[in-house]
Amino acid sequence: MPKKVVKRKRAPKPKPAPEAAITAVPISVKVNGKTHSLTVEPRTLLVELIREKLDLTGTHVGCDTTYCGACTVLMNGAAVKSCTMFAVQADGAELLTVEGLEKDGQLHPIQKAFGDSYGLQCGYCTPGLMLSAFQLLSHNRQPSEKDIRKAIAGNTCRCTGYQNIFKAIQLAAQNVKGV
């Protein structure tokens, strides 16, 4: 005998409380020298703006929890973790990402030094490390060993053991002119 199918009416879903719609916010940011005017939803993270809206995928997401520094970019010359800022907060700011280091087809001395010193293996952490090095060298041309270690303490590398990264930054310090 076929079982009697009991049809149950689904309980109606509770309606969400009426809320004012979230409005997108117009912002203007200068990234690697080029100004972009666009609108962003307030919760858009800076790294998402950079990677997904501006298609600059050299900035990486590692931990997404403010630990590893793979997402480091410079905002008005200061290294920041772009996974821990909202894009709206960069309104009016100048950003530098790894794509902005190279000039006229020439690698920046920091990039060159990372290559020459084998300061990377998989390269995932490298863009963030180079930007942390950039902040350091922009106000300290003769960094001590301690200065270098302090400058990159917020960047985790899972491959290299740091020795060659350290050497790369020392080499870059000798070779940069006017970062």
Partner 1 sequence: MYPRAFHYHRASSLKEAVTMLSQLGDDAKLLAGGQSLIPLMKLRFANPQHLVDLNFVPGTSYIKEEGGALRFGALTRHAEIENSATAAKIPILHDCAAGIADVQVRNRGTIGGSLAEADPSGDWAVVLITLATEVRCLGKKSERTVRFADFIKDAYTTALAHDELVSEVVVKKPPKGSGGAYIAFKRSAPVYPTASAAVQLTLDGDVCKDAAIALGCVGLTAIKARDAEAALRGQRITDKTIAAAMEAARAAADPQSDMRGSADYKRALVGALVKRAIEIAVRRARGEQVEVGHIYA
Site for partner 1 in 119-148 (CB under 8 A): 132, 135
**Residue 7 to residues 4, 10, 11, 14, Cα–Cα distance (Å):** 9, 9, 12, 21
| Half-sphere exposure of residue 110: CA atoms within 13 angstroms, side-chain side | 24
As measured in angstroms, the least distance from the Cβ of 81 to ligand FAD is 8
Note whether 67 binds ligand FAD by CB under 6 A.
yes
Do residues 158 and 124 make contact, with C-beta atoms less than 8 angstroms apart? yes
Q: Which of 62, 109, 127, 143 binds ligand FES (CB under 6 A)?
A: 62
Note whether 49 binds partner 1 by CB under 8 A.
no
Note whether 71 binds ligand FES by CB under 6 A.
yes
Note whether 39 binds partner 1 by CB under 8 A.
no
Between CA 117 and CA 138 the distance in angstroms is: 20
Note whether 149 binds ligand FES by CB under 6 A.
no
| Half-sphere exposure of residue 172: CA atoms within 13 angstroms, side-chain side | 33
Pick one of ligand FAD, ligand FES, partner 1, none as the site partner of residue 135 (Cβ within 5 to 8 A by kind). Answer: partner 1
Note whether 161 binds ligand FES by CB under 6 A.
no
Note whether 175 binds ligand FAD by CB under 6 A.
no
CA quadruple 119, 30, 28, 77: dihedral positive or negative?
A: positive
**Structure tokens, 152:** 């990159």
Do residues 56 and 99 make contact, with C-beta atoms less than 8 angstroms apart? yes
Do residues 132 and 152 make contact, with C-beta atoms less than 8 angstroms apart? yes
Pick one of ligand FAD, partner 1, ligand FES, none as the site partner of residue 25 (Cβ within 5 to 8 A by kind). Answer: partner 1
Q: In whole angstroms, what separates CA 115 from the centre of its chain?
A: 20
List contacts with ligand FES (CB under 6 A): 61-64, 66-71, 81, 83, 120-125, 157-160
Q: Where do contacts with partner 1 occur on this chain (CB under 8 A)?
A: 19-20, 22-23, 25, 41-43, 45, 64-67, 69, 72, 78-81, 84-86, 88-89, 91, 132, 135, 150-151, 153-155
